[in-house]
Amino acid sequence: MPDLADPTISSIKRGDLRIHTFTAPDDFLADSTHVLETDGALVVIDGQFVAPYAVAFRRFVDAFDKPIRKLYLSHSHVDHWFGLSTAFPDVPVWAAEATIEELRHTAESERAARRMQYGPMVPDAVVMPQHVAEPGHDTVDGVDYHLDVVRNAECGAQLVLTLPGHGVTIAQDLVYSQTHVYVTRDAANTVALLRIMATSGSDVFLAGHGPVADSAEVLHNADYLAFAEQRLAHDDPATFKEALLAAYPQRRCPQLLDIFIPRLYETSTVEALR
């Protein structure tokens, strides 16, 4: 990847399961994708954002020389599905029905808009998930997965996978690990979900941004959102940003604030005009 920083790769072992996390540099929002490896199969979570890291992630996955039994797309945000189009067009993708429906309506316009911003680093075409990931249970190479779809949290629909026999929850963008946390206007639902998740029995949480998290980091996310919601009720955009940066100076990817703050205040302006 010329002129781009290397990704960060980490691995942990949980019994018969090995979990590998591939995280882009902070300049690309510490975007995290994961490979769950057993003796005979791989399960892949999301596909990275821009093409260089998507292609590098595919090379990383192929180096295991094992079949990809499932590739799950957690939600419809571009930094998670763009890489599927770039590097995994030959692999069937599972996603929540609401995610597939949203992509049918928005994926091409999102791709075209980001093409103007990032040029050849975004995909040339859209690859739609082919399979609906229904809430319920699945087993891949002897590992049990519990599938759930969380609605109206960080986005409209988020696929969450729990491995009850291994103490692992694949939360993706419900958890931002060591980075600033994406704030939406109605964060109370996400705060409640995070507090429940932290006491769910899992002690490993695969995040959509940053390294693998623990239950303490999940609670830190809830506290961040509660603080942001309190400040949002009174602050103008500049003061709101200053408050978050001052309260959480150790958190990485401050550019996240420049993504969500305009959207927060655009929403409030529209609501005030109604």
Q: Do residues 267 and 185 touch, judged by C-beta distance below 8 A?
A: yes
3-state secondary structure the chain: CCCCCCCEEEEEEECCEEEEEEECCHHHCCEEEEEEECCCCEEEECCCCCHHHHHHHHHHHHCCCCCEEEEECCCCCHHHHHHHHHHCCCCCCEECHHHHHHHHHHHHHHHHHHHHHHHHHCCCCCCCCCEECCCEEEEECCEEEEEEEEECCCCCEEEEEEECCCCEEEEEEEEECCECCCCCCCCHHHHHHHHHHHCCCCCEEEEEECCCECHHHHHHHHHHHHHHHHHHCCCCHHHHHHHHHHHCCCCECCHHHHHHHHHHHHHHHHHHHC
Cβ-Cβ contacts under 8 Å for 52 (sequence gap 6 or more) = 1, 4, 121
Letter for the amino acid at 233? A
Q: Do residues 77 and 49 touch, judged by C-beta distance below 8 A?
A: no
Q: Do residues 177 and 29 touch, judged by C-beta distance below 8 A?
A: no
Letter for the amino acid at 157? A
Give the separation between CA 9 and CA 59, rounded to whole angstroms: 13
Per-residue pLDDT in tens (0 to 9) along the chain, 274 residues: 457 999 999 999 999 999 999 999 999 999 999 999 999 999 999 999 999 999 999 999 999 999 999 999 999 999 999 999 999 999 999 999 999 999 999 999 999 999 888 899 999 888 899 999 999 999 999 999 999 999 988 888 999 999 999 999 999 999 999 999 999 988 999 999 999 999 999 999 999 999 999 999 999 999 999 999 999 999 999 999 999 999 999 999 999 999 999 999 985 543 332 2
- Cut 0.85: pTM above it: yes
Q: How many other C-beta atoms can be found within 10 angstroms of the C-beta atom of residue 102?
A: 19
What is residue 154's predicted lDDT score, i.e. its pLDDT? 87
